Amino acid sequence: MKILLLSTYELGHQPVHLASPMAALVDAGHQVLTADLSVEPLASEDVQWADKVAVSVPMHTALRLGIAAAEEVKLLRPEIPIAFYGLYAGIGAEDRLDRLADALLVGEYQSSLLSWLGGEVDGLVESTAKTKFLIPMRDDLPPISEYAMLQKGDESFASGYVEASHGCRHRCKHCPLPVVYDGRYRIVEKHAVIGDIATQVAQGARHITFGDPDFLNGPAHALAVLREAHRLHPEVTFDLTVKVEHILKHREIWQEVATYGVVFVVSAFEHTNDAVLQILDKGHTEADMVEAVQILRKAEIEVRPTWLPFTPWTRTQDLADIVDFLDEMELWGNVDPIQLAIRLLIPDGSLLLATAEMSDHLTGRDPDGLSWLWAAPDKALDALAKALNEIVEQGTDDENIAVMGRLVKEIGEVTGRPMPIPALSRGSIPRLSEPWFCCAEPTKTQLSLVAQ
373 in Cβ contact with 297 (< 8 Å): no
**CA-to-CA distance for 437 and 439, rounded, in angstroms?**
7
Q: Counting beta carbons within 10 angstroms of the beta carbon of residue 285, is it exposed (0 to 12), middle (13 to 18) or buried (19 or more)? A: middle
Same domain, 357 and 279: yes
Same domain, 89 and 174: no
169 in Cβ contact with 249 (< 8 Å): no
pLDDT at 154: 86
In sequence order, the β-bridge partners of residue 186 are 166
pLDDT at 450: 45
Q: Does residue 133 lie within any of the structural domains?
A: no
pLDDT tens track for 272-315: 999 999 999 999 999 999 999 999 999 999 999 999 999 999 99
pLDDT at 428: 84
Q: What angle do CA 344, 346, 349 make, to 5 degrees?
A: 150
* φ, ψ of residue 165 in degrees (nearest 5): -160, 160
For residue 434, give the nearest of 188, 17, 197, 149 by alpha carbon.
149
Q: Which ranges in 203-337 belong to alpha helices (H)?
A: 219-232, 244-249, 254-259, 274-279, 286-298, 316-328
For each of the chain's 452 residues, which pLDDT tens digit applies?
999 999 999 989 999 999 999 999 999 999 999 999 999 999 999 999 999 999 999 999 999 999 999 999 999 999 999 999 999 999 988 888 888 999 999 999 999 999 999 999 999 999 999 999 999 999 999 999 999 999 998 899 999 999 999 999 999 999 999 999 999 999 999 999 999 999 999 999 999 999 999 999 999 999 999 999 999 999 999 999 999 999 999 999 999 999 999 999 999 999 999 999 999 999 999 999 999 999 999 999 999 999 999 999 999 999 999 999 999 999 999 999 999 999 999 998 999 999 999 999 999 999 888 899 999 889 899 999 999 999 998 887 678 899 999 999 999 999 999 999 999 878 789 999 987 666 666 666 555 554 44
Same domain, 405 and 288: yes
Boundary (domain end) residue, out of 95, 127, 159: 127
**CA-to-CA distance for 207 and 335, rounded, in angstroms?**
19
In sequence order, the β-bridge partners of residue 103 are 83, 123
92 in Cβ contact with 80 (< 8 Å): no
pLDDT tens track for 71-90: 999 999 999 999 999 999 99
**CA-to-CA distance for 166 and 168, rounded, in angstroms?**
7
The residues, ordered by sequence, that sit 6+ positions from 141 with a Cβ below 8 Å of its Cβ are 14, 15, 18, 19, 34, 36
Give the number of domains in the chain.
Answer: 2
pLDDT at 301: 98
Q: Does residue 163 lie within any of the structural domains?
A: yes
Pairing of strands 149-152, 155-162: antiparallel
Structural domain for 24, as ranges:
2-127
Same domain, 152 and 294: yes
pLDDT at 81: 97
Q: Which ranges in 59-168 belong to alpha helices (H)?
A: 60-76, 93-96, 110-117
Q: Does residue 14 lie within any of the structural domains?
A: yes
pTM value?
A: 0.95
**CA-to-CA distance for 51 and 29, rounded, in angstroms?**
14
Mean of all residue pLDDT scores within the chain: 94
The residues, ordered by sequence, that sit 6+ positions from 68 with a Cβ below 8 Å of its Cβ are 8, 450
Boundary (domain end) residue, out of 127, 159, 185: 127
**CA-to-CA distance for 15 and 273, rounded, in angstroms?**
35
Boundary (domain end) residue, out of 127, 158, 179: 127
Which parts of 11-137 are beta strand (E)? 31-36, 52-56, 82-86, 103-107, 123-127
The CATH number given to whatever domain includes residue 99 is 3.40.50.2300
pLDDT at 397: 66
- Taken in order 327, 380, 275, 216, the sign of the CA dihedral is negative
